[in-house]
Chains A and B, each alone.
Chain A
Amino acid sequence: MSFKDLIKGVVGAVAAQAAPNDPAELARQDARMAEWTQALRHNSVPKFVSERLRHTAVGRLPWVSTASPADLLTLRTHGIETLGMVSGNCWFHFGYSWTEGHRDGWHTAIARMQHEAALMGAHAIVEVTLKTRESGDADARSSMDYSATGTAVKIAGFPEATAPFVATVSQLEFARLLEAGILPIGLAVGAYYEWMSDPYGWADASQSYFNQELEVLASFQKRVRKSAVDAMRDHARTMRGTGVLGRVQFTEMFREKGNNEEPTQYLCRHIAFGTVIQHRRNQHESLRPRAVLLTRKSKIQSLEASESVI
């Protein structure tokens, strides 16, 4: 460590340790928190956030983007201008309904992100990632945070939009869809859960010596999955979409072992997401793609590798 580093470290540490107990600092943090409370209750963001976003949109602050350098090429080729990163989250407690809790949590987080993008005058939000966060603590039981983050963009020649489109695809893929006459318009979410009672304990064939499919559990899971996907489809329909792309899904199954009074019960839940698109069926004009052989396969993030990323 150089002498400069050492001094910097000591000064930094002293400054940091003095700050937390400073009443002025605590008061400032309280005021900031009060602004958050007011703003979120009115479906808005505090003034310090809206000002930062507006300054970013007009170039007084550097733009911030999840875009890769390849995505930046779309400015030249398709007039897609990066405005800045936007986000929204909602920590939701699901009491009477897990399904509705998930739906409302996601809807609120996405709406907050859209509000941030609208403040920047964006037409769309691309590369949206959705994450959940849980806390093991007792006071956070049966609740979860839903967060959405993406990059707000403006498209040259597009009319002013009130609610920016939301797309999980990258800026480059967004441009590719526009080029093919396909418009990504939003995110569809479908969630469903069901309890199944197994009074005779046959569902898991635990007493059996044979290889066999667990038909009861398989059809139970299939039914839950179908209901969630149907809910996603209905959601897409309300947005006037014609299809859902890049669908990702998440299924969980639990068993609650029975006793003398209660039978064994199974819980299965499923959640499905996708980018809703509008397109004209059976009117495809070929983009004449060139086939290329990649010398190295791109890495695809698996769900297992990052379990909190949905």
Chain B
Amino acid sequence: MDATSTSSDGQLSHQALERLRGLRSEGSHEGIFTSDFSVNEFLMVREAGFEPLGLVVGSCIYHVGVQYTSWSRNQEMTVLSQAMYHARELAMARMEQEASTLHADGIVGVRLEVKRMEWDKDILEFMAIGTAIAHSAGHPMFKGVGGKPFTSDLSGQDLWLLLQSGYRPLEMVMGSCVYHMAHQGVMKSLGNIGRNAEIEVFTQALYDARELAMERMQREAGEAKAEGVVGVQLHEGSHNWQPHVIEFFAVGTAVTPVEDKSVLPEKLIPQIVLPVND
């Protein structure tokens, strides 16, 4: 846990509490927070017992190295895999640092964006953006791995629902794999003319790439001592690489059961409702 924000008994320090009180005091400079919350999201974050502190951003402009592969080989492009992972990690770490400066307990609604620079296809810009929040009663339980603020791509509403389900977010976990899909060659292509058949070499490449990305994300969750990963999204992208190169990127929020059940609101029993304007 951040030494500057906590005292030795694990409670929020006097200064942090002062600042949190300041968040809600009129006329205070600290009282002005920024966020990209919608009205519903803001209300639900407060319902979950948190206050927004500010929008936090981390970015990284990265030059992706070169890797040559054999034309006829299914192979992971390790240089690219590591570049994509490392650059995202740098952007995330910088965003977390901003949140730590705000003495936040966590960051919600994190979005990870990748953009290619116009003038050079090997330069990619990664940006992580989210809203830093802090528990309004200063409960120390909500910090993420190693006392750092937790990170999550869940919205404010989902944070409330997650707590209702008895879990709290730990950190966003990611797995990336950039893969070169072998070319099957002219003879093999000619052999397929008129046949309905599986192209095994392509199937295997995509299967293996997806498996590697999933494995890596799961390993990261295991290292964070999470019980599970929610809201997993599996992205496929090619970021303007050559047609046979593809990236699988798995991302989700690692969660752990809430230890101190007393801070949770009353148990929610879902009811069936019928939206009348949807």
Contact = CB atoms under 8 A, between A and B. Distances in A.
Interface of B: 38-40, 65, 67-69, 74-79, 81-83, 86, 90, 93, 154, 158-159, 161-162, 164-167, 181, 183-186, 188-189, 192-200, 202-204, 206-208, 210-211, 214-215, 217-218, 221-222, 226-234, 236, 243-244, 252, 254, 267-278
16 contacts: A5-B90, A13-B83, A16-B81, A20-B77, A26-B75, A36-B204, A61-B218, A61-B222, A62-B222, A64-B229, A65-B228, A69-B161, A73-B270, A145-B206, A179-B272, A288-B272
Contacts of B189: 138-139, 141
Interface string A60-89: 011111111110110111000010010111
Nearest to B89: A8
Given A16-B79, A16-B82, A135-B243, A89 B268 contact: no
B204 A298 contact: no
Given A87-B210, A294-B278, A66 B232 contact: yes
Interface of A: 1, 5, 8-9, 12-13, 15-17, 19-20, 25-26, 29, 32-33, 36-37, 40-41, 48-49, 52, 56, 61-70, 72-73, 75-77, 82, 85, 87-97, 100-101, 104-105, 108, 131, 133, 135-141, 143, 145, 147, 149, 172, 176, 179, 287-298
A296 B227 contact: no
Q: Which 5 A-B pairs have CB atoms at the shortest separation, nearest pair first?
A: A91-B202, A69-B162, A69-B161, A63-B228, A72-B165
A57 to B, nearest CB: 12
A73 B236 contact: no
Contact of A49 (B158, B192, B211, B229): B211
A297 B222 CA distance: 36
Q: Is the interface of A mostly helix, strand, loop or mixed?
A: mixed
A143 B199 contact: yes
A67 B255 CA distance: 12
Contact of A104 (B67, B184, B196): B196
A135 B233 CA distance: 23
Contacts of B271: 290
A36 B207 contact: yes
A292 B272 CA distance: 10
A97 B195 CA distance: 8
Contacts of B278: 294, 297-298
A92 B197 contact: yes
Contacts of B230: 65, 67-69, 72
Centre residue among B40, B189, B192, B196 by max chain A CB count within 10 A: B196
Contacts of A72: 161-162, 165, 167, 230
